A and B are shown apart, each in its own frame.
Chain A
Amino acid sequence: MSQTNISYKQPLLETPFHEKTREKCYAHDWYRWAGYKAVNQYTSTELEYTSMRNTAGVIDISPMHKYSIKGKDAKKFINKLNTRDITNIQPHQVVYALWCNEDGFVVDDGTIFCFDENNFRICSGERNLNWFEDTAIGFDVKIEDISHSIAALALQGPLSCKILHMLNANNIENLKPFYFDQFTINNQKITISRTGFSGDLGYELWCDPSQAHDVWDALFSFNKDYKILPAGLNALEMVRIEAGFIVVNADLMAAEHALRPNRMRTPFELGLAWMVNLDKEYFNGKEALINQKNRGIEKKLVGLDVQGDKPAVGSVLYNKSKKEIGIVTAAMWSPSLKSNIAIGYVDKENMKLGTIILAEIYHPEELEYRKIWAKCKVVKKQFINLERKNAVPAFI
């Protein structure tokens, strides 16, 4: 069901789950994601968020870009591409990875699925075919954009394992985080990985577009007792901020997109130093990253615990003497933490945990803005760290 015939009459594609999502999308709140119609919110963002933190939420992530990497040099190629060392990756393992350009600036992030030594899949938020193909010059690999031929759902939340277990996904509770396997649910053989974007217990289901409706229906078959909801992008944005995950082209400009060179970011500046393996023989941007490591970073993406209850969306950050030091890239009131949180860049004098800085919040109040100087404490980006996320066996 690969639909690639876009025309002016139908400017956006529909995902394999479209019939199902359309039925549930009472708010008719859609947005454009990689050429597809995707749901912003179905009924109410808060309700969808609550389902993801308390029961489970289902998100249609089919528009995500997926690339098949096959061939003798597949592993070598991925090792050159990304900043982590995947030499010891095992079949059925998933790795979260970043890839940089020659200046060490992040091009994109994504997950790498290892099927075997010579067969990988990379899922990413931005289009990367051109980048991958140019990186693959001289390597014996075949890269294919398989975005349209795989349907994908994210099932995130504390009951996600239980639902899959009740659907007779054999031994699903023992699937470790960042692993995947084949399972049969509702007579459909599909791939399930224990991955997600919510910082919670959760899975991602990958299937053929022809299986899409059966898989969707199966997930909701226990809704009499366990109320799980389809969730849109807005709710996903909330859970990802709580989890401290970054979104390319929201928290940083993708190196291939940015027009202004000082808008690009390196993994160190994103606080993702643990993902950079400088001992690896060679990868894109190694030289530049070594230089930056020695030189030290000028700014860093940090978590902020913001005073008050008004979200610091788009706020400019200041130090105590009100000198501008950075900007907020994502902010929200966190219902789970009952606190006002944000992610933003601060300069090198203020990146230490515990530093107190100021955010200038313009809060709209009945056609007028109220300006608030909110104190913020620099904290870790990962605001929420749930034990159930990594528990094996998972909660059923």
Chain B
Amino acid sequence: MSKYDAIIIGGGHNGLVCASYLSKKGCKILILEKNENLGGLANCASSLNGFSSKVLGDLKINLPKLNYNSYVVALHSDQQHTILQENNNKIIFIKSGANEENQKKFSSLIDKYNLYASTLSKFMYEVPPRLKSGSSKDTWQLINMGWKIRKLGKKNMREFLRVIGLNIADELEDNLSDNTLKGLLAHEAILGSNLGPRSPGSILSLLYRQAIQNGLFTSEKYDFHQLIPSLEKICLNQGVEIKNNASVKKIVTTNNQATGVILDSEEKIDAGIIISNADPKTTYFDLLGTEPLDTDFIRRAKNIRTKGNIAKLTITLKENPIIQNIDKEKMNAKFIYAPDINYIERAFNASKYNKYNENLCFEFHHCVKVIVANIYYVPHVKNNTHDKERLIQHSINLLKPFISNLEIEKAELLTPNEIEEKYHVKGGHWHHGDIEIDQMLMMRPFYGSAQYTTPIKNLYLCSAGTHPGGGITGINGRNAAKKIMGDKK
């Protein structure tokens, strides 16, 4: 008899959530984390807007709430920045160069998307149905999903089905004339996915984001530095064993059934269930090996789109930054620079060919002399051939026009390649794979591997690569745990 009921590979937030749920039901769990610290990519995230309140409630986690109004600032090169605030899903224009009609249309567009997103968000906590299974339960669930969309009403359902395949640029150009507002919404639609504003499906990507974070610019609700330690505490309290610096070399299978893992140190640990919190490609190609997988399956695994394109820049300044025309109290805002659709599209264009255009887009937060920025599009390139010094210089040059006292003490940059290496995520992709129509719900990560299961018995997935997808939500870990408990019965 093995000592553990289940081993979770990877102590990212989903791994921890999954362990919390399972151990609550009395399972003996071992978490193997490759790095020194738990948390994985969650440590790389600049906010935890999307962390599921349902998961927090289930696990009885009380994260300290941060009580302040948060703003969104769309930077403009003439220093006439647009400032917005989102309050209870309503957009308030604090300052904007856009005329009233544009402001109104912008708000109604977001309202419309919020409505669709709320339909999508109903699917988040369900294990998506299996296709072609022939089981009545799956068919029923599929009908149920269709019904939820139908419940939008005839007009809205039509509009919903119309826009999910569209690109955001077309929709914005039809409705708005203000470039800054168009750029702002396009930015939200494509951030984190390998899409441009003119890529089909970029509206769906926006809806999905809204669905996951329950709003578009949702102000930071929790002190996210507390999240991973809280999860760790729960796990430890419930008897979960956590091993840091334990890198899994291989998942052991016999007769198409996972039976344990081998660590880099050649130590072999047995368990009845193996749960991989690594992304699907790493799980299948590196940890499991292709030997027990069908060729068609390997093809699909190989073809999931996991190309990351966001570099993370952290700069420490000598003094607090000053941005022209922005008051001190609004300095906790999220700053976005994506001035117009064509500017973004051009940057994306270069990244398609693994190059980067010097005119990149970015968003950043500021917190006591430290600026944390997501710079895109910086492509994930083969063999990590980035010229980093140049990249850092370019990134700083991007910030320079806006911050008048930019005196840098220290600048650090993580390219997608480095994110890949540091957090063991293929392609350095935030969400373990683009969230697009063919890579979501019962197709996430891909047909044959959805529903948190794998072709190997007792091997499960719980990473962001599964439904409902990326972001720091913890829902993947919860759903996987539910699925595993269901299978055990």
Contacts and interface: CB of A to CB of B under 8 A. Distances in A.
Interface of A: 76, 80, 101-103, 131, 134-135, 137-139, 281-282, 284-285, 287
Interface of B: 255-256, 285, 289-292, 294-299, 302, 448, 455
B299 to A, nearest CB: 5
Contacts of A102: 294-297, 448
B298 A137 contact: yes
B291 A134 contact: no
Contacts of A138: 285, 289-291, 298
A291 to B, nearest CB: 12
A284 B302 contact: no
Contact of A287 (B285, B302, B455): B455
Nearest to A138: B290
Contacts of B296: 101-103
Nearest to B285: A138
**Interface SS of chain A:** loop
Nearest to A76: B291
A282 B455 CA distance: 12
Contacts of A281: 255
A76 B285 CA distance: 17
Contacts of B297: 102
Contacts of A139: 290-291
B389 to A, nearest CB: 36
- Residue among B255, B298, B302 with most chain A CB within 10 A: B298
Contact of A137 (B255, B290, B455): B290
9 contacts: A76-B291, A102-B294, A102-B297, A102-B448, A134-B295, A134-B299, A134-B302, A137-B302, A282-B256
Contacts of A282: 256, 291-292
A134 B294 CA distance: 10
B249 to A, nearest CB: 15
Contacts of B290: 137-139
A131 B295 contact: yes
B33 to A, nearest CB: 25
Contacts of A287: 256, 455
B41 to A, nearest CB: 25
Contacts of B294: 101-102, 284-285
B291 A101 contact: no
Contacts of B256: 282, 287
B138 to A, nearest CB: 17
A137 B298 CA distance: 8
B447 to A, nearest CB: 10
Nearest to B302: A137
Given A102-B448, A282-B256, A135 B295 contact: yes
Nearest to B255: A281
A289 to B, nearest CB: 11
A387 B31 CA distance: 65
Contacts of B299: 134
Contacts of B302: 134, 137
- Residue among B256, B292, B296, B298 with most chain A CB within 10 A: B296
Contacts of B298: 134-135, 137-138
A287 B289 CA distance: 18
Contacts of B291: 76, 80, 138-139, 282
B285 A284 contact: no
Given A137-B290, A137-B302, A101 B295 contact: yes
A285 B289 CA distance: 17
B301 to A, nearest CB: 9
A245 B296 CA distance: 27
A278 B397 CA distance: 63
Nearest to A130: B299
